[in-house]
Structures are given as C-alpha cells and as structure tokens.
Amino acid sequence: MRAASQSIFVARSSLGFALILAGAWALLGWDVEAWVTTFGLLAAVMGLLVEPWLRRREQRRGLLRDLARELVQNVKTLHDPVFSREDEAFHIYPRVMTIVSDAALSSGQFSGGTDGTLLALLNEWAMAARGFNGRLDLTELLTATNPELRATFHRRLSRGEMLDGVRRKLLRLGDHLLQSYEGESGIGLKSELFGLAEGIAREP
C-alpha cells in the first residue's frame, strides 16, 4: 500500500512538472521538449503501475459494502417472527444468505495478514449458515409429512441452541466488520449506511 501511494505521488509530481515545463516551453520559448516528454512518460508509467492497485482497492471496498448489506438482511431474517412460533401450523422458514460471504472467501481479496480474523469469522459464519439452512430444510420436510411433530419441532427451533448460535456468529462477524473496516468500507458505528449499526444494536 505504501508503494502504491508513493507511485501515485510520483505520477502526480511528474505530470505537474511536465505541465509546468510545457507552459514554459510555450510561453517563454525554453527548449525543454525532452524534459516534458520524460516527465510525461514517467507519469504515464506510474499511472499504469498504480491502476491495478486502485482497481483492487475499489473491488475490495465494494465487496465489504455488499457484505454489510447481506449481514443486515441476515440480521432481519434471523429475527423473523416465524422463528418464535411454537404452534401446530406448517411454516416455511426464510433462509439466511451466504452469496456475498462465499464470494468474499473465494475472491482472493482477503488473505492472511490483517484479514486473518475476518477470514476466520467468514468461514465460521458460512459453515453455521449452511448448517442452519439445512436444519430448516429437514424441519420443513418432517413437519410437512408429520403434523403431530410440528409443535415439538417449532419449540426446539425457537428455544434451541441452533438459532442462538447462528445469531452469535453473525454478530461476531458484524462487530468485526464495523470496528476493523470502518475506514476502508465507509461503514461505521456512527454511520446510517444500510442501517447496519442500527440493525446490530437491536440484537439481544
């Protein structure tokens, strides 16, 4: 990152010098064509070197913001009133999403170093989410064909460790995202962006 910042500085400085020399060349008749060309080329080369870093930074920032959107939606999903019902009716449960979480894990944008904790939390959340969605599939299948089991299964789901556990893993991921990536993503504890802070604050 420091190397990229230095390249940006060199590119801007070179372009500035080229413009100054070009002005002197045009207004004062100084013979500085070679210098103008040199600084212009240097600015172009530095720009080419910096461009991949800038592109990667924007992709990473976009991925963090998409992750925040998915996190907020999952907070809402896990607090859907259907998860607190213990009646004998048949229920179709909403599933938590892991599209962006899976994309973040496979993108290569986050790898080791300072992203180690984020990667660990993403893996933990993705595994918990898949297990939770699988449990919902099984619950719906069994309660659709065995009405007498509905109340028992609904009670176990609403009071059991499975629901609380997946909520806790989601909150740990959200808390780390807010506290450790605020400057990079533009999403902070004081930000109203996507309602993320508000969504997490409502958690028990």
Assigned domain for 100 exists = yes
Assigned domain for 29 exists = no
Question: Whole-angstrom Cα distance, residue 8 to residue 54?
Answer: 10
The per-residue pLDDT for range 135-189, each reduced to its tens digit, is 999 999 999 998 888 888 888 888 878 888 999 999 899 888 888 887 776 676 5
pLDDT for the residue 177: 86
- Model confidence at 23: pLDDT above 90: no
pLDDT for the residue 127: 94
Assigned domain for 147 exists = yes
Assigned domain for 2 exists = no
pTM above 0.95, yes or no: no
Which is more confident, 73 or 194?
73
Assigned domain for 48 exists = no
Domain of 125 in residue numbering reads as 61-201
27's tokens? 């207004």
Output the CA torsion sign for 16, 18, 19, 24: positive
Question: Whole-angstrom Cα distance, residue 195 to residue 180?
Answer: 18
Report how far apart, in Å, the C-alpha atoms of 35 and of each of 14, 60, 163 are: 10, 38, 68
Assigned domain for 186 exists = yes
Please give the tally of structural domains in the chain: 1
